[in-house]
Structure 1
């Protein structure tokens, strides 16, 4: 099976490319660094020739809602046109859990526009919405000064490890398209404040964690308590917080 990983030179893309190869598939690294440009439309026909499926893990270079929306819409339009021409039978898009719920996150609205563009195309698809990565949440905890408390809200999170995510993506792209959303997440749900306490304890960091609902570390936008949690039917990875810290 020939699988094209769009955005294959990025962090998730590199891990996915390696995982797909380990599972015995032929893989193409489609990225601007390899001459594959979904905005300019260059290199698409060559990379997609003979491909069975694609996985789109691209990210907008600009996180602002307007530029990100334009990037995603243009990218999807050009990519799906080339996929349709090449006879690609499965388009997998990596998105984010919670994008379709009430919030004030401009980048999330841009991802919704990307999802809509995929739905409006004529290539069979699966949209994979993932929870936040351990790495990203760890950045929210930060290093900080010794003795200075970490202040975070109790917003619920269910972080996933990147290796678990790419395992799930490799499985999903090998399956028939569902023409709908599949959610993926880690095995443990906890408050962001509790995540910080457990992370700091595992690292031997003695800073205290103060639960503060007024803090908005997620792009400065207050979040509802369960915005970042998946639904009951999510596919779960295996890596728990203690496993991730020691890996």
Structure 2
């Protein structure tokens, strides 16, 4: 197959590209650094020529729901319109487990992205995954200084590599609409994950809302289970 990965130069996107190529697929990387802009559509028609499936792992780092919503709406509408012109057969989107149960601006933006994809002109699959193991490392890097502030999140973390593998598997098949959730092999507190990586730094836990602290980020029903535990990921890091 010929697959396109939107956001393919990001840290998740790179893994998707790697997994798709390892599976024998021809891969087109959609990113500004490759001359394709999802906010304007520049270079998109050419990039999607002959593409069978698109995997969208684009993201924006912001705490503003308005900013996130504007980004996901523009990028998704632009991408879907170009896919329709190029006769793409399958649109796959990465989303978040609990996105429909946690009240935050960013999660509202992801819900909008899901709706646009599922109601759009291209048969679509939405994969909701739990927080990545890598998220704990990102939290350490984002907060400077010896004291780290971590929200009281309860999660079932999954390795980004497992997510990438599942996205490619889904893209290879027919559209499923809302696919079965993907979660990791164990339930952990985010604070415990950060402390595992903190190497002597002080980690303080702050409230993150009842839904996040009470299991709103855990799969509510059946889910596919990732293989890599957090300790295994840390050991291989």
Query: Do structure 1's residue 190 and structure 2's residue 179 form an aligned pair?
Result: no
Pair 152,64 (structure 1): closer, same or farther in 2 beyond 3 Å: closer
Q: Which has the larger radius of gyration?
A: 1
Secondary structure, in 3 states, of the residue corresponding to 2:54? strand
Per-residue deviation, residues 40-73 of structure 1 (Å, max 9, x unmatched): 0111111111111000010125441112111111
Corresponding residue of 2:171: 173
Query: Do structure 1's residue 225 and structure 2's residue 223 form an aligned pair?
Result: no
Secondary structure, in 3 states, of the residue corresponding to 2:227? coil
Q: TM-score, normalised by structure 2?
A: 0.88
- The count of residues paired between Structure 1 and Structure 2 equals 233
Within the candidate set 150, 161, 176, 2:159 is matched to 161
Query: Do structure 1's residue 72 and structure 2's residue 72 form an aligned pair?
Result: yes
Query: Do structure 1's residue 246 and structure 2's residue 235 form an aligned pair?
Result: yes
Pair 139,26 (structure 1): closer, same or farther in 2 beyond 3 Å: closer
Bigger mean CA deviation after superposition, 82-91 or 134-143:
134-143
The runs of 5 or more residues in structure 1 that have no matched partner are none
Per-residue deviation, residues 104-140 of structure 1 (Å, max 9, x unmatched): x211111111111112211000001111111212444
Q: TM-score, normalised by structure 1?
A: 0.84
Distance 1:168 1:176 in 2: 14
Contact kept? 1:126, 1:182, Cα under 8 Å = no
Secondary structure, in 3 states, of the residue corresponding to 1:60? coil
Corresponding residue of 1:87: 87
Query: Do structure 1's residue 111 and structure 2's residue 107 form an aligned pair?
Result: no
Distance 2:192 2:38 in 1: 40
The runs of 5 or more residues in structure 2 that have no matched partner are none
Pair 47,241 (structure 1): closer, same or farther in 2 beyond 3 Å: same
Contact kept? 1:184, 1:234, Cα under 8 Å = yes
Corresponding residue of 1:135: 134
Distance 2:149 2:71 in 1: 34
Contact kept? 2:118, 2:125, Cα under 8 Å = no
